[in-house]
Structure 1
Amino acid sequence: MRGKTGSGVRLAVAGAAMVALALVAGCGNGSTGSNSSSGPKSPAPKVTADKALSAKVPAAIKQAGTVTVGTDSTYAPSEFLAADGKTVQGFDVDLFNAVMAKLGLKAKYESAKFGVIIAGVESGKYTAGVSSFTINADRLKQANMVSYFSAGTWWATKKGNPSKITQDTACGHKVAVQTDTVQVDDITARSKKCVSAGKKAISIDQYEAQDQATASVVSGKDDAMLADSPVVAYAVKKTGGQMEKLGSIYEAAPYGYVVKKDQLAFAEAIQGALKELISDGTYAKILTNWGVQDGKIDNPTVNPSVTG
């Protein structure tokens, strides 16, 4: 769960790290739309507005017509930049576009660092945050959240696992993780247990973008990485067999759309749109189109009860 800690979580897109991953992968980089296989199997299904649901949208948002969305576009296949380096794409994007269309609205995506998006929603800079946010107690204190997907943490290592690392034998190994994610808390706690047991601490390499963490594993700089399950599955696929999944998925939790704390009515309208998309099959089509159907949920909820 890219659920980042505190206010934000995320395979990144641009700069030297992207180039590095493209070089080591040998088949396009792991997070951008550099070739056709980086995107969905087919175009996103078209969605028509529901008048009853549209009527539930707060007047100011309805009048604007376009919802400004803050997103960390470095987290393939959830949200990442297309080959033009500008257009944000991913299953999160296709699904939220469908939600907005059901409400008679359009979405405009603005790339931002993960850790500042929720604050941006609360300040009014963004109308919503869509960035694979794991729903947790800290975030629920800051904003309204609407569940729409379920993801867990997964590990990955270089093909063949040359360092013989496992989730339970990581002491003394070098492990990559993206900053501000729940995975940072995870690996930090594991390292403390190593030290308490008289073993070497885990050497934790934190990267601002997930593609940098992926590249570090492919290059052999780090022995393994951990990230949200759909991101790891996508990274393994996009690195052309140079990485492999390690262990199994654990600690599954819901992703949530982020809406300002005083916009409960808008959150409820989003929930209603999601329920319609689930009912008419559009939701399943979008997830299947991106190969992330294992994360589907049946009952989107506004501010669900969570622990941690």
Structure 2
Amino acid sequence: MKKKIVLGIAIVLSVASIFTACSKSENSGEDESLKYVQEKKEFILGLDDSFPPMGFKDESGEIVGFDIDMAKEVTSRMGVELKLQAIDWDSKVLSLDKKDIDCIWNGLTITEERKENIEFSNAYLENRQVIIVLADSTIDTKADLKDKVVSVQAGSSGKDAVSGESDVLDTFKELREFSNYTEALMDLSAGRTDAVVIDEIVGRYYMSKKAGEYKVASEDFGGEEYGIGFRKGELLLAEEVNKILQEMKEDGTSAKISEKWFGEDIVK
């Protein structure tokens, strides 16, 4: 009888130890983000490929841009291959969480709301949400947007900035959302929209391609900073990228890339 009881206890303890081990393995929270990228030797960058000058398709269909050149240098120093993956910007966090991509690196604004779902790198660029209108427009302040059609990109920090000022938003005739800023600015040029709230870095790039067509209003929807987004809790990968970005700043590499795209060094 005692042998049977002892054997039963042994079996129970054995099973319990197996479940405990599995539980520890599943819930240890061990961060293998850097190891994951290193072992597959591939770093997948998610982006909206119509967001110049950060990441966009050139005339030959190749994805180029400031963020792309920065990422190429980072992944080269990491010893992994860079793969570019166009995503639906409005579903960027879902793409990240599903591991379709390893990061979001495309002029991604750091916000407290986004920090709840995204692990951010250190900020590397400063930006503003500006109001772009046609050159002959009388719009110059946020008050001038009363009864006007204002456009933003869906899921963008521009939309968040406008939504955060409900007293201004409530005066609009309509807040119109587009899948990308190229479409929003085309709508503005066609006279179907009165203004576009857009990242200053991106907006001024578009303006440089169509001199005299647009202007920037004197008021804006606030300043912000760009960062690289990783899966929540994946600190080791973020820290490795931060380390390399700092090295690039110190050895002048990031300055050269910035001068190529902006004519000056604007990297933080």
Matched residue type, 2:143: D
The one-character-per-residue Cα deviations of 1:124-175 (angstroms, maximum 9, x if unpaired) are: 11111112111112222212110222211111111122x4453332111121
Q: Residue 296 of structure 1 aligns with which residue?
A: 267
2:114 aligns with 139
Corresponding residue for residue 4 of structure 2: none
Is the 8 Å Cα contact of residues 143 and 168 (structure 2) preserved in structure 1? no
Give the one of 269, 277, 283 matched to 2:254: 283
Q: Letter of the 1:62 partner, please give it.
A: Q
**1:74 equivalenced with 2:45 (yes/no):** no
1:127 paired residue number: 102
Deviation at 1:234, TM superposition (A): 0.8
Unaligned runs of 5+ in 1: 1-55, 298-308
Aligned in 2, Cα 1:266/1:243: closer, same or farther, shift over 3 Å?
same
2:222 and 2:39 map into 1 onto residues whose CA distance is: 40
The match for 1:148 is 124
Mapped contact 1:72–1:112 kept (Cα < 8 A): yes
Tell me, in whole angstroms, the C-alpha distance in 2 between the residues paired with 1:292 and 1:176: 28
Provide the aligned length of Structure 1 versus Structure 2.
Answer: 236
Q: Name the SS of the counterpart of 1:131 in structure 2.
A: strand
Whole-Å separation in 2 of the counterparts to 1:201 and 1:272: 44
Residue 64 (structure 2) aligns with: 89
SS at match of 1:58: helix
Give the whole-Å Cα distance in 2 for the aligned partners of 1:186 and 1:58.
33
Q: Paired residue for 1:270, among 231, 241, 245?
A: 241
The structural deviation recorded for 1:93 is 0.7
Give 1:295 deviation, angstroms.
4.2
Match of 1:215 in 2: 186
Answer yes or no: is the 8 Å Cα contact 1:191–1:202 preserved in 2: no
Relative to the length of structure 1, the TM-score reads 0.70
Give the one of 160, 163, 173 matched to 2:136. Answer: 160
| Structure-2 change in CA distance of 1:248 and 1:284 (3 Å) | farther
Quote the offset at 1:57 in angstroms: 8.1
AA of the residue aligned to 1:101: S
Percent of aligned pairs with the same amino acid? 20
User: What secondary structure does 2:38 align onto?
Assistant: helix
Query: Which deviates the most, 105-114 or 137-146?
Result: 137-146
Which of these residues, 89, 100, 103, is aligned with residue 75 of structure 2?
100
SS at match of 2:124: strand
- Partner residue of 2:159? 184
Alignment match, 2:198: 227
- Say whether the 8 Å CA contact 1:171–1:191 is kept in structure 2: no
| Cα separation, 2, equivalents of 1:159 and 1:170 | 15
Question: Do structure 1's residue 251 and structure 2's residue 222 form an aligned pair?
Answer: yes
> Quick one: distance in 2 between partners of 1:194 and 1:75?
24
Give the unaligned 5+ runs of structure 2.
Answer: 1-31
**Is 1:236–1:245's contact at 8 Å kept on the other side of the alignment?**
no
Normalized per residue, the structure richer in helix is 2
Q: Distance in 2 between matches of 1:261 and 1:61?
A: 15
- Name the TM-score, length of structure 2 as normaliser: 0.80
CA contact (8 A) 2:127 2:200 kept: yes
Contact 1:151 1:295 in 2 (8 A): no
In 2: Cα distance, 1:236 partner to 1:64 partner: 40
- Residue equivalent to 2:11: none
Aligned residue in 2 for 1:305: none
Cα pair 1:74 1:209 within 8 Å, conserved: yes
In terms of fraction of residues, the more strand-rich structure is 2
C-alpha deviation, 1:95, in angstroms: 1.0
The structure-2 alpha-carbon separation of the partners of 1:110 and 1:292, relative to structure 1 and needing over 3 Å to count, comes to farther
Partner letter of residue 104 of structure 2?
G
Structure 2 residue 182 is matched with structure 1 residue 206:
no
- Go from structure 1 to structure 2 and tell me whether the alpha carbon gap of 1:104 and 1:242 turns closer, same or farther (over 3 Å shift): same
Structure 1 match to 2:39: 63
